[in-house]
């Protein structure tokens, strides 16, 4: 009880209340504009938050992070264009409802599901906060290094089909972090005699370039689209009643969001598809999914809004961001000398609870705002792309210049903006670069601190938490290799099947091959196993 009272004392300030209101309303507006998204908004606002108190700056950023998905459902449902990337699955069942004349019902259901997911996530994490406070002291330098390494590996392998390029971009981020002054002996690294590289490459410069400026270039080069918005009819409060008729889907989807949000590099997409698949497989009417199913819409919106609060767990408990948005928030902590990690849960537990309460209040504010302002909000989807692009471009350069009053930073940001634009056009991820920069710095410092007490490689994993993290790294790598191998074998088999089935002789051979394996498959595999044991026995 004392902890909650102390947390409310932190929140009961006029500047925190204003930050909550601005973050919640601003996040909804940003999410409702296709092509902008929370990453661009947070990147632009990041320099301004450095001059604010940590609780005020983080409340604004958390407000945008948590409420943008609410707003992103508006264009996804009305015009079949997701406002944010994570609202793509909302279009599957939201827009078909609009097509059959039920846009207000779809919006109401999306708001209600998002509200339930957000509140469920925050309540779970407030209840688990004492457990995290007990676990956090078990993490020393080597454990944090292994946790950061695990987070980086999870981020890389999460980009299925693009693992190699994601790993290369993560290594690029690690290299960018090494440029400038070395953190232990304070010697210059990779500056090549250039004075402007002596201070290193600022993370905010890279963030603004890769996310804000690149998106501005995309909007400026794309043509404006004429958008027609359906007229809203019906009551917005009916979604709360309809959500109550599907408690199982809502509860399981919110649980998936919490679990996936706590794992670095996984996030909303995995939680969404797991929830959507579960809802479809357990539904009494699976044929309605993709055609306007209320269960499908609940699964998509509940799971993605349960992630933001859960994503703060690795950031606050270990100081390890799991995605680009939490990596940006980490810089706000560092500017104000608030170091996330085990010490934060031991010494500033009221600050942690205040952040979770801010997320809880945020969800209430957003729901009330949307229930009464949706009619006016739907008009923001008509803002021209090029006008948005010019606004983002201007604000981004103002933000970069305000960091150190440096034209060089603006030029670097422009260079990273062009690079991010190329990545977007090639459909390649930019997030591994940011996480490589953040996690690379953490890994370097913690590894050097840990090596002072280590004599043999086995000493690095001689503690329980370190051994568990090391085992998880091995399991993730082995599972990824097996999955890649399985995908390649399936692809080759499908190609061979397509090739042989194109002729009558090939089709005949394919049927004989399947029947032979069905009849004698166990014998063949047993014979191969005996042969393999004999060969290995020779060595």
The pLDDT value given to residue 539: 39
DSSP state of 263: S
Distance CA 32, CA 343 (A): 38
Read off the pTM.
Answer: 0.69
> CA 319, 301, 243, 378 torsion: positive or negative?
positive
Show the low-confidence residues of the chain (pLDDT under 50): 528, 531-532, 535-539
- Residue 189 backbone dihedrals phi, psi, to 5 degrees: -130, 130
DSSP, collapsed to helix, strand or coil, labels residue 319 as: coil
Q: Hey, which residues does 142 pair with through a beta bridge?
A: none
Distance CA 27, CA 74 (A): 13
The pLDDT value given to residue 388: 77
Tokens standing for 304? Answer: 């993605």
The pLDDT tens digits for 57-108 are 888 888 888 788 787 777 777 766 666 666 767 777 887 887 777 777 788 8
Distance CA 530, CA 539 (A): 15
First to last CA, the chain: 66
Residue 108's Cβ-side half-sphere holds a number of Cα atoms within 13 Å equal to 18
DSSP, collapsed to helix, strand or coil, labels residue 320 as: coil
**How many CB atoms are located within 10 Å of the residue 192 CB?**
7
Using a 10 angstrom Cβ sphere, with 0-12 exposed, 13-18 middle and 19 or more buried, the burial of residue 449 is: middle
Tokens standing for 87? Answer: 């609202």
The pLDDT value given to residue 230: 55
Distance CA 420, CA 283 (A): 41
The pLDDT value given to residue 500: 60
Helix and strand element counts for the chain (H, E): 22, 2
- Residue 188 backbone dihedrals phi, psi, to 5 degrees: -80, 140
The pLDDT value given to residue 85: 65
Angle at 364 between CA 359 and CA 365, to 5 degrees: 95
The pLDDT value given to residue 536: 45
The pLDDT value given to residue 237: 65
Q: Exposure pattern of 83-101 as b/e (b: 16+ CB <10 Å)?
A: bbebbbbbbbbbbbbbeee
The pLDDT value given to residue 48: 77
The pLDDT value given to residue 381: 63
**How many CB atoms are located within 10 Å of the residue 5 CB?**
9
The pLDDT tens digits for 272-303 are 777 877 887 787 877 777 777 888 888 888 88
Do 81 and 383 touch, CB atoms closer than 8 A?
A: no
């Amino acid at each position: 009880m004392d902890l909650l009272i102390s947390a409310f004392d932190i929140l009961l300030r006029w500047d925190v209340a204003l930050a909550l209101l601005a973050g919640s309303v601003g996040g909804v507006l940003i999410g409702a504009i296709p092509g902008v998204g929370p990453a661009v908004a947070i990147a632009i606002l990041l320099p301004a938050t450095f001059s604010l108190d940590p609780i005020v700056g983080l409340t604004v950023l958390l407000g945008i992070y948590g409420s943008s998905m609410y707003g992103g459902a508006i264009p996804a449902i009305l015009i079949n264009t997701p406002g944010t990337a994570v609202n793509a699955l909302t279009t599957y069942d939201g827009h078909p409802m609009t097509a059959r004349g039920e846009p207000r019902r779809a919006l109401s259901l999306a708001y209600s599901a998002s509200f339930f997911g957000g509140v469920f996530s925050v309540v779970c994490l407030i209840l688990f906060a004492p457990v995290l406070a007990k676990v956090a002291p078990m993490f020393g330098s080597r454990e944090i290094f292994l946790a950061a390494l695990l987070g980086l590996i999870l981020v890389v392998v999460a980009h299925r089909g693009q693992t190699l390029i994601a790993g290369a971009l993560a290594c690029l981020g690690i290299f960018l972090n090494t440029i400038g002054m070395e953190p232990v002996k304070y010697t210059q690294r990779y500056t090549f005699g250039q004075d402007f590289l002596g201070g290193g490459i600022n993370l905010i410069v890279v963030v603004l370039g890769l996310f804000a400026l690149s998106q501005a270039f995309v909007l400026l080069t794309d043509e404006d689209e004429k958008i027609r918005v359906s007229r809203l009819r019906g009551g917005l409060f009916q979604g709360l009643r309809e959500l109550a008729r599907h408690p199982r889907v809502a509860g399981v989807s919110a649980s998936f969001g919490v679990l996936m949000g706590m794992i670095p590099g996984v996030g909303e997409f995995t939680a969404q598809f797991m929830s959507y698949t579960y809802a479809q497989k357990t539904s009494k009417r699976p044929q309605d999914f993709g055609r306007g199913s209320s269960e499908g819409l609940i699964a998509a919106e509940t799971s993605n809004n349960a992630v933001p609060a859960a994503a703060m767990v690795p950031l606050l408990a270990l100081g390890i961001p799991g995605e680009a948005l939490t990596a940006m928030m980490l810089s706000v902590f560092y500017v104000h000398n608030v170091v996330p990690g085990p010490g934060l849960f031991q010494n500033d537990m009221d600050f942690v609870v205040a952040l979770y309460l801010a997320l809880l209040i945020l969800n209430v504010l957003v729901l009330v705002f949307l229930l009464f302002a949706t009619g006016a909000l739907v008009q923001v989807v008509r803002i021209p792309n090029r006008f948005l692009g010019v606004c983002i471009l201007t604000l981004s350069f103002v933000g970069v210049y305000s960091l150190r009053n440096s034209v060089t930073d603006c030029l670097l940001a422009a260079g990273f903006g062009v690079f991010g634009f190329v990545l977007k056009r090639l459909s390649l991820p930019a997030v591994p670069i940011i996480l490589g920069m953040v996690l690379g710095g953490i890994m370097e410092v913690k590894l050097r601190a840990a090596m002072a007490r280590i004599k043999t490689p086995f000493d690095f994993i001689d503690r329980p938490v370190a051994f568990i993290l090391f085992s998880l790294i091995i399991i993730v790598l082995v599972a990824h290799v097996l999955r890649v191998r399985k995908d390649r074998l399936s692809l080759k088999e499908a190609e061979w099947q397509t090739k042989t089935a194109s002729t009558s002789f090939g089709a005949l051979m394919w049927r004989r091959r399947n029947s032979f394996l069905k009849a004698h498959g166990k014998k063949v595999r047993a014979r191969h196993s005996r042969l393999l044991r004999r060969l290995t026995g020779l060595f």
